[in-house]
Structure 1
Amino acid sequence: MNKDQIGGNWKQFKGSVKEQWGKLTDDDFTVVEGKRDQLVGKIQGRYGYQKDQAEKEVSDWEKRNDYHW
């Protein structure tokens, strides 16, 4: 999968991410742009989660949505 495919895939799933983590802002999504580690960090910051909890939530979301980074 090339960078353009990953970017398109991210745009497709961004709505689902917004539903799951509604506290994330459009600016957060601009920073994340399909980067898993950035998403985990933003979830930590917005929700006050420990890294392990944010990682687990992202992993669970990936499984439910069959999303591959």
Structure 2
Amino acid sequence: MTTREELRGHWNEIRGRIEERWSQLNSSDLDGLEGKTDQLVGKIQQKTGETSKDIRKELDSIIENLSQSASSMAGKMGDTFNEAVKNSKEQFSHASDAAREQYEHMNESVQKGYREAERTVRKHPAESVAVAFGTGLIAGVIVSLVWRR
């Protein structure tokens, strides 16, 4: 049996189906009948001459079809969502793997550079101290010039 809540919840869809099923009704016949099952049945009965029982059976069928459509659509949306989540997880996994590889590559490069610098300092300690002193001096001059401005 069609309830008031079912009529209110799906009124726009039901209204369209009612207008398709009972073409004798026009849009103004249905105005103000949202959620009013008895008055809706009475209006349809008045316009079509069908029995109240047949009208209620047809309304129940319309609502059941709408519910099945909504349920089917919800299922499809759920499937789509699950597929999107699965794809996102796969993409995240690939991105994570790529980031890990880049980190490892960069880490190896930094360690290689550190070992190279250490070897150079051990091989030429005096020159290394002079270069470090000169670099510090130039950096200090640049910082003091920037701070003066």
TM-score, length basis structure 2: 0.35
Greater fraction helix: 2
- For 2:24 and 2:35, locate their aligned partners in 1 and report how far apart those are by CA, in whole Å: 17
Match of 1:38 in 2: 39
Gaps of 5+ in 2: 69-149
Q: Which stretch shifts more, 48-57 or 28-37?
A: 28-37
CA RMSD, Structure 1 to Structure 2 (Å): 2.4
- For 1:38 and 1:24, locate their aligned partners in 2 and report how far apart those are by CA, in whole Å: 14
Gaps of 5+ in 1: none
Deviations 1:1-48 (A, max 9, x none): xx9xx37x3134422221122111222111312322222111111110
- Structure with bigger gyration radius: 2
Greater RCO, CA 8 A, separation 6+: 1
Runs of 4+ with >6 A deviation: none
TM-score, length basis structure 1: 0.65
